Amino acid sequence: MLILFFDWCLKLKSPLIFLNSIKMFELNLLKKKSKIFQKLKSRTGLFFAVSLSIILLSILPALSQQPVVLNLLMAAPDAQPWKEGLLKDFESKNPGIRINLIEGPNATNLLEDLYTSAFILGDSPYDLVNMDIIWTSKFAAAGWLLDLDNRISLEELTAFSPQDVNGGRYEGKLYRIPMRSDVGMLYYREDLLQQAGFQPPETFEDLIKISQALQKQGKVKWGYVWQGRQYEGLMAMFMEVLKGYGGFWVKPDTLEVGLDRPETLRAIAFLKDTISQGISPPGVTTYQEEDTRRFFQSGQTAFLRSWPYVWPLANQADSPLKGKVGIKTMVSNSGKTGAACLGGWGLGIAKSSKHPEEAWKAIQYFTSVQAQRQFIFNSGSVPSRVSLFKDPEVIAKYPHYPQLLEVEKQAVLRPPIAQYAQTSDILQRYLSAALTNSMTPEKAMKAAANETRTLLKSR
């Protein structure tokens, strides 16, 4: 009977039930002073009790060694390269830990909403927090992340790109270790430009002129595609155009807002011109990254603004653009330098996690040289470790990486402020209204600037 009962507890594999049951059993024994109790007092009973304790002592650690499960949420398209080897490799090296990868929506702001609501509601299921570079300030300011400073030395951090590391800091403390970097850039059809005798464009004017010429020659239907939908991708794209005109959005140190300045209006005028002059398709104001990538890859357009993930896809065996694509920093107004928006993803530990040590082990592995090398081979995304940009094996597969490193050096952050999500939401709404002609750019940017100022003052 007794053995059957313990056997049942073991099958349940719950150490808690098992222990509680033993406690109850002992109590009953003591209370009732039953026959079994008498037996235990006898020599055979004593032997039985000792044996039982030994068995228990040897079984309990085994029971408590069930793998710790770390929950991790990320955008569905980002999950693929993790599933291709990275997770398995980590789990085989750490048999006590399992990663439960949850696939979320594509748009970073929707993913952020999921994390945010889980943290606000409390009892969040997430242990590892896979963070876009723009989330660090908000998540850290809200107290949702563990401070990682005492887990990694400054020397170890020097192996990562300094901008990526800074993107993981808030008020001097470190909350996120960069897993992969990202920089916005301009893709162009090298073959078509060469055939038509054009150098890659340097200015916004060049971009328009070359586009129109190639369209006129019937080489492409459209000239330029960019992310124009009302979402975070619109902000990343706009940062580059705005900077290229010498403007600014919010200065992080002073919280000065530059949205109603003439440079902002010039940046919007450029984007609107691309549509009104038939260089960008009218649907561009509804496009996210993947829409624009497919558009470019199908050969319909000469230029594309996007992230590095496009390069391996555009050059894969069945792509009509294989070997025909060039990359460069985004163009600018003449006399100004082109800007690249710094994106990228990194890992933090949720303060509410019950497994911070295991989560840190996972972060150490996923941000290691070995894991990053494997990850970039599978995904073509940009490493956060500088040495990998110059790694001969990596360059053999991705000859454009040294050039990417140069683009990255010029990369600029979207304002690293705790109210970034609301700030971005304001600009997304008004910029989208200006681009789709439901408001004049002047009116839209005045409203956007005022709302942003009110928000930042109410800090």
Question: Which residues of this chain interact with ligand GLC, rule CB under 6 A?
Answer: 108, 132-134, 182, 232-233, 236, 289, 307, 343-345
Q: Which CB atom, from 421 or from 439, has the smaller least distance to ligand GLC?
A: 421
Q: Which CB atom, from 112 or from 127, has the smaller least distance to ligand GLC?
A: 112
Q: Hey, what long-range contacts does 194-201 have (CB within 8 A, 24 or more apart)?
A: 195/219, 200/326, 200/328, 201/303, 201/331
Encoding tokens for residue 130?
């896979």
Q: How far is the CB of 190 from ligand GLC (least distance, A)?
A: 24
Q: Which CB atom, from 407 or from 447, has the smaller least distance to ligand GLC?
A: 407
Q: Which CB atom, from 163 or from 274, has the smaller least distance to ligand GLC?
A: 163
Spatial CA neighbour of 140 closest among 420, 425, 454: 420
274, 224 contact by CB (below 8 A): yes
Q: Cβ-closest residue to ligand GLC?
A: 343
Q: Which CB atom, from 210 or from 426, has the smaller least distance to ligand GLC?
A: 426
For residues 116 and 67, give the distance between their C-alpha atoms in angstroms, rounded to a whole number: 27
Q: Which CB atom, from 236 or from 407, has the smaller least distance to ligand GLC?
A: 236
**222-225 and 340-349: which strand pairing?**
unpaired
Q: How many residues in the chain?
A: 459
Q: Which CB atom, from 134 or from 220, has the smaller least distance to ligand GLC?
A: 134
Q: Which residue has the tokens 């952020």?
A: 112
Spatial CA neighbour of 293 closest among 77, 134, 108, 80: 77
Q: How far is the CB of 16 from ligand GLC (least distance, A)?
A: 42
Q: How far is CA 440 from CA 96, 167, 287, in A?
A: 58, 34, 21
For residues 136 and 417, give the distance between their C-alpha atoms in angstroms, rounded to a whole number: 9
Q: How far is the CB of 153 from ligand GLC (least distance, A)?
A: 26
If residue 130 lies in a helix (H) or strand (E), which one and from where to where? strand 128-132
Encoding tokens for residue 401?
């990486």
Q: Which CB atom, from 229 or from 266, has the smaller least distance to ligand GLC?
A: 229
Q: How far is the CB of 426 from ligand GLC (least distance, A)?
A: 16
If residue 113 lies in a helix (H) or strand (E), which one and from where to where? helix 108-121
347-370 exposure pattern, b = at least 16 Cβ within 10 A, e = fewer: bbbbbbbebbebbbbbbbbbbeee
